[in-house]
């Protein structure tokens, strides 16, 4: 096993510092009196706040820095993502929280729902009711909720959100998502052109780019460079190809990705919310923009849905597209929904697809790094 300290290929530099740059950009946005809306989850259509000219920032926190502060109010045995997010809001250590005029949550998992109730004591919070079933009734309910969210924004910020502005944002976001898909699909090549960690840091970093105009082109420029270098013969050589699924894998959870790539594998695909899961297109031809948004977003295959067939269908497709040799299911501690689903994912991966599967349960601390390293080394060796 080796220590990971890779030099960042030049291709990825633009987005590597994106989160830090966004902290500076958000201060400028505030000085111009542009509203800032903080969001947690991929189920929330950013198109709606973007349509009123707001800057939309992601609030899901992925470090253990504020967990001790959070644990003064929340149970210790709770998902680290929830504790970290609450801790950053409580301590005002995150500029995105600090500058958010409105924080928007959704009724996803139980821990998050209850955390939002407590967050409302010290932040302006609006909770969108997310149906937990992807039925036609669920879509209609979600459409109503999105219209209610639009009204909340209009009342709070004394503005009007037109359907034309929403459609413009739908087209913009579709373009960004298309570019993010294209970037991730460079990893379908075998041998892979670059490391998975670099690709996912770029995808993750682009989520913090609050200048959505032109973002599609900036992402495409990265992909163009990778493709050009690949045709010129640059690649990382043949390695066991891993797909990562499960809870979001950004920030401190990247230790699992590092362990895979340090030990001879390459993560060619991220099925989770950090990667491919949220990148379906909104139907631009649907004359009812809220219906179009509800249909795309409610279809996301997160474990808070019951049943969650869409996750399994997407996994089935991605394992083939990316010629995957093995699947690593990353579960954040105390995430009951993803934990329960490991049985269904294991069945799909081992029985239907006929490839090896393993689960890694972890938190945002560094305490289990050696153990994860050992387990990933053993998993990759058997591929
Ligand atoms: S659409 S994955 S961003 S809810 S890991 S907090 S589920 S206990 S983050 Fe998520 Fe939206 Fe789903 Fe994506 Fe709860 Fe599990 Fe913690 Fe989670």
* pLDDT number for residue 23: 74
- Pairwise pLDDT comparison (292 vs 210), residue with the higher score: 292
203 has pLDDT over 90: no
Q: What is the pLDDT of residues 91-106, one digit of tens each?
A: 888 888 889 999 999 9
* pLDDT number for residue 95: 84
- For ligand 1, the distance from its centroid to the CA atom of residue 60, given in whole angstroms, is 9
Per-domain residue ranges of the chain: 14-162
Question: In testing the pocket of ligand 1, which one of 79, 270, 303 has its CB within 8 Å of the most ligand atoms?
Answer: 79
For ligand 1, residues with CB inside 6 Å are 41-43, 79, 81-82, 108-109, 111-112, 247-248, 273, 300, 302, 304, 332, 335, 337-338
Alpha-carbon distance of 215 to 196, in angstroms, equals: 21
Determine whether 348 is exposed, middle or buried from the number of CB atoms within 10 Å of its CB (0-12, 13-18, 19+): middle
Note the ipTM here.
0.94
- Statement: 14-162 belongs to CATH 3.40.50.11890: yes
- For ligand 1, the distance from its centroid to the CA atom of residue 262, given in whole angstroms, is 27
Please state the atom number of ligand 1 nearest to the C-alpha of residue 332: 5
* pLDDT number for residue 220: 95
* pLDDT number for residue 8: 52
Q: Which band of pLDDT confidence, cut at 50, 70 and 90, is reported for residue 10?
A: low
Phi/psi for 105 (5° steps) reads -110, 170
21 has pLDDT over 80: no
- Average pLDDT rounded to a whole number, residues 303-313: 98
Alpha-carbon distance of 143 to 155, in angstroms, equals: 19
Strands of 241-246's sheet, edge to edge?
Answer: 266-270, 241-246, 326-332, 357-362
- Pairwise pLDDT comparison (66 vs 193), residue with the higher score: 193
* pLDDT number for residue 300: 98
24 has pLDDT over 80: no
250 has pLDDT over 90: no
- For ligand 1, the distance from its centroid to the CA atom of residue 1, given in whole angstroms, is 31
Residues above pLDDT 70, as percent of the chain = 95
Q: Which band of pLDDT confidence, cut at 50, 70 and 90, is reported for residue 28?
A: confident
Range in 8-22, 68-82, 132-146, 306-320 the model is least confident about: 8-22
- For ligand 1, the distance from its centroid to the CA atom of residue 287, given in whole angstroms, is 31
- For ligand 1, the distance from its centroid to the CA atom of residue 130, given in whole angstroms, is 13
Question: In testing the pocket of ligand 1, which one of 62, 67, 247 has its CB within 8 Å of the most ligand atoms?
Answer: 247
Coil, helix or strand for 130?
Answer: coil
- Average pLDDT rounded to a whole number, residues 156-176: 98
Q: Are 81 and 60 in contact (CB under 8 A)?
A: yes
- For ligand 1, the distance from its centroid to the CA atom of residue 109, given in whole angstroms, is 7
- For ligand 1, the distance from its centroid to the CA atom of residue 115, given in whole angstroms, is 13
1 has pLDDT over 60: no
Which residue minimizes the CA distance to atom 8 of ligand 1? Answer: 335
- Average pLDDT rounded to a whole number, residues 363-376: 94
């Amino acid at each position: 096993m080796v220590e990971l300290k890779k030099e960042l290929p030049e291709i990825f530099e633009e987005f590597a510092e994106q989160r830090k740059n966004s902290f500076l950009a958000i201060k400028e946005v505030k000085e111009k009196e542009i509203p800032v809306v903080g969001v947690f989850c991929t189920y929330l259509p950013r198109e709606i706040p973007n349509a009123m000219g707001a800057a939309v920032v992601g609030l899901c926190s992925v470090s253990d820095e504020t967990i001790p502060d959070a644990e003064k109010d929340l149970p210790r045995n709770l998902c680290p993502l929830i504790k970290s997010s609450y801790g950053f809001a409580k301590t005002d250590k995150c500029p995105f929280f600090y500058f958010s005029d409105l924080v928007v949550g959704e009724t996803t998992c139980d821990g998050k729902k209850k955390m939002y109730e407590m967050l409302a004591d010290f932040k302006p919070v609006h909770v969108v009711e997310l149906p937990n079933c992807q039925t036609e009734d669920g879509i209609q309910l979600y459409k109503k909720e999105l219209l209610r969210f639009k009204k909340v924004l209009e009342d709070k910020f004394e503005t009007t959100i037109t359907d034309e502005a929403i459609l413009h944002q739908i087209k913009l976001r579709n373009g960004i998502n298309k570019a993010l898909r294209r970037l991730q699909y460079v990893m379908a090549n075998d041998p892979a052109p670059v490391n998975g960690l670099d690709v996912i840091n770029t995808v993750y970093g682009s989520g913090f780019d609050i200048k959505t105009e032109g973002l599609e082109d900036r992402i495409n420029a990265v992909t163009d460079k990778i493709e050009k270098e690949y045709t010129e013969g640059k690649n990382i050589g043949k390695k066991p190809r891993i797909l990562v699924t499960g809870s979001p894998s950004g920030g401190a959870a990247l230790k699992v990705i590092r362990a895979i790539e340090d030990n001879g594998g390459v993560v060619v695909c991220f099925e989770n919310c950090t990667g491919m899961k949220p990148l379906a297109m909104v139907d631009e031809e649907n004359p009812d923009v809220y219906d179009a948004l509800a249909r795309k977003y409610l279809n996301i295959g997160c474990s808070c849905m019951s049943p969650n067939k869409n996750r399994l269908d997407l996994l089935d497709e991605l394992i083939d597209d990316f010629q995957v040799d093995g699947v690593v299911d990353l579960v954040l501690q105390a995430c009951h929904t993803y934990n329960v689903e490991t049985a269904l994912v294991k069945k799909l991966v081992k029985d239907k697809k006929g490839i090896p599967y393993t689960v890694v349960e972890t938190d945002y601390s560094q305490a289990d790094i050696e153990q994860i390293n050992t387990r990933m080394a053993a998993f990759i060796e058997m591929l």
